[in-house]
Structure 1
Amino acid sequence: MSALTNAATNAGTNANRLAAHGLGLRYGDRVIVDGLDLELPGGAVTAIVGPNACGKSTLLRGLVRLLAPVAGTVTLDGSDIHRMPARALAKRMGLLPQQPVTPEAITVESLVRLGRYPHQRMLSPWSKADQAAVENALARTGTAELRDQQVDRLSGGQRQRAWIALALAQDTDLLLLDEPTTFLDLRHQLDVLDVVADLHDEAGRTVVMVLHDLGQAARYADHLVVLKDGRLAAAGPPAEVLTAELVEGVFQVPCRVVPDPETGTPLVVPRARVRTGTRASA
């Protein structure tokens, strides 16, 4: 089920609003994101898209304080995240990084339990609330039956759902995912995106995710952010943002944008390549 079903209800909420103000991010001397102004709606699913190396993952790292800005600020509900205590921020914001490193020989349940770290206190015992959060995360991601299996022995789709369960067990209202469908086949891509949509639809979580597939981004997101060369090319509802002109200008792909026959959301259809010459006769 698409997150679009709840767009009208959630898009106007004032909670869990991430924003960048004149944001500059770089690695060494290389500027990746330059002077970015951006507001992400609370209570919605936002997809960040753009060409390779345009700054999508770098932006996500900046939004979760993994990368310090060289200019500007990032705010959460108006507060500078770099002025917030780390544990307090971790209680509000969960992250699934790109290609997370799995601890050796760890089981699914043990991995998911790590999501409760922000809620732990020194010498405090594991509580019923902690276990309930873990059980809820396992159930919501369909990984309960995998709880005793080692994560590094799972399929790609199962492993990704286990990591989403960890982020969910963190029990935050804001969840950020960096390319959650990378290296997955189509079935497992849709499985993961359906889990994300359910988290939004059923639990009201605000979700921000980096995606490559424009059709999937339009189908699952309420709000679309398009980056080009570290700058904002467009932002807004997919039906308004995703045009043939934008796709050609940002991705250099001539195309048509037509309604998805299943959902009515924008679907990008690249124009047919013009072939020259003739086939050799048999």
Structure 2
Amino acid sequence: MSTTSTANELSTHGLKLGYGANIIVDGVDLTLPGGAVTAVVGPNACGKSTLLRGMARLLAPAAGTVTLDGSDIHRMPARALARRMGLLPQQAIAPEGVTVEALVRLGRYPHQRMLTPWSKADQTAVEEALERTGTTVLRDRSVDELSGGQRQRAWIALALAQDTPLLLLDEPTTFLDLRHQLDVLDLVEELNTEAGRTVVMVLHDLGQAARYADHLVVMCDGRPAAAGPPAEVLTAELVEEVFQVECRVVPDPETGTPLVVPRARSGRRAVPAAP
């Protein structure tokens, strides 16, 4: 994980987001550090994905603002924002019959100009995205024919091909088995440490969030319950308050980062006390 910087700093100011009269995210003030990996966690229906949608300008605020390096994203030209911010949405829908390569090529749209031909740089970005996500062998397959995990990796490849310094990923490990979850999270870490990209991602697994993120935001009922370095934020008290799960938080034996161990709910499964 890299040292944070002020570039690509994403902030919300009194942000309210919702659907119609139903407010989901209510008056949030947050600053997500540039040059870092931020994980947003929380129970179901707490506002994680809604917050990410608001930060990506997919959802207009009911109140408040979202700024990128101090500039209101709603005042930025769409193409200019797309060259700075890439997004993997939670429920992406591909055009019917589109191949994996054609889908990934769509990531180059923000870099295109009218009457400008497809360039070597464009193709290189597509090839690298396919390679990084292990989807090169799928390039000629229709996205409709893919498994959930393969489809998810194809969408991640599109986000990578966009080649932005800031990536927003909404549940990037959805549909993936454990190996491919770790592959995606290792890729996030590489993009941050080797390419200096800022990443904001919604995750469900608290251990993975603590292991891979520099900064953790814990959402509860539409507001942050806590935010900061995982080692400072992720406590047994916080987990019980936010998730209603009794647990112990112990050091991960591989990384030393916080690892949440739920307490056994059945006496049969509990470890007997020492005599």
Q: TM-score, normalised by structure 2?
A: 0.93
CA contact under 8 A between 1:47 and 1:209: conserved in structure 2?
A: yes
Does 2:11 correspond to 1:19? Answer: yes
Report the Cα distance in structure 2 between the residues aligned to 1:91 and 1:264, rounded to whole angstroms: 36
How far 1:218 moved relative to its partner?
0.5
| Aligned match for 1:124, one of 116, 124, 140 | 116
Counterpart mapping for 1:162-173 below 5 A: 162-173=154-165
CA contact under 8 A between 1:23 and 1:71: conserved in structure 2?
A: yes
Report the Cα distance in structure 2 between the residues aligned to 1:149 and 1:268, rounded to whole angstroms: 39
Counterpart mapping for 1:92-107 below 5 A: 92-107=84-99
| Aligned match for 2:221, one of 215, 229, 233 | 229
**Stretch moving more, 120-129 or 29-38:** 120-129
CA contact under 8 A between 2:149 and 2:175: conserved in structure 1?
A: no
> Aligned with 1:95: secondary structure?
strand
**Stretch moving more, 98-107 or 80-89:** 98-107
Alignment-derived partner of residue 143 in structure 2: 151
How far 1:181 moved relative to its partner?
1.3
The ranges of structure 1 where at least 4 consecutive aligned residues each deviate by more than 6 angstroms after the TM superposition are none
| Aligned match for 2:167, one of 171, 175, 190 | 175
How far 1:274 moved relative to its partner?
4.2
Percentage of pairs with the same residue: 81
How far 1:103 moved relative to its partner?
2.0
Alignment-derived partner of residue 186 in structure 2: 194
Report the Cα distance in structure 2 between the residues aligned to 1:74 and 1:196, rounded to whole angstroms: 23
Q: How many residues align?
A: 268
Counterpart mapping for 1:22-101 below 5 A: 22-101=14-93
How far 1:266 moved relative to its partner?
0.5
Kindly report the root-mean-square deviation, in angstroms, between the aligned alpha carbons of the 2 structures: 1.4
**Stretch moving more, 248-257 or 193-202:** 193-202
Report the Cα distance in structure 1 between the residues aligned to 2:220 and 2:150, rounded to whole angstroms: 32
Report the Cα distance in structure 1 between the residues aligned to 2:139 and 2:62, rounded to whole angstroms: 42
Structure 1 residues 274, 157: CA separation in 2 closer, same or farther (over 3 Å shift)?
A: closer
After superposition, the C-alpha distances for 1:68-111 in whole angstroms (9 at most, x for unaligned) are 11111100000000100001000000000002112222222111
Alignment-derived partner of residue 246 in structure 1: 238
How far 1:174 moved relative to its partner?
0.2
Alignment-derived partner of residue 208 in structure 2: 216
CA contact under 8 A between 1:157 and 1:189: conserved in structure 2?
A: no
How far 1:187 moved relative to its partner?
2.3
Report the Cα distance in structure 2 between the residues aligned to 1:128 and 1:192, rounded to whole angstroms: 26
After superposition, the C-alpha distances for 1:256-275 in whole angstroms (9 at most, x for unaligned) are 00011111110000111144
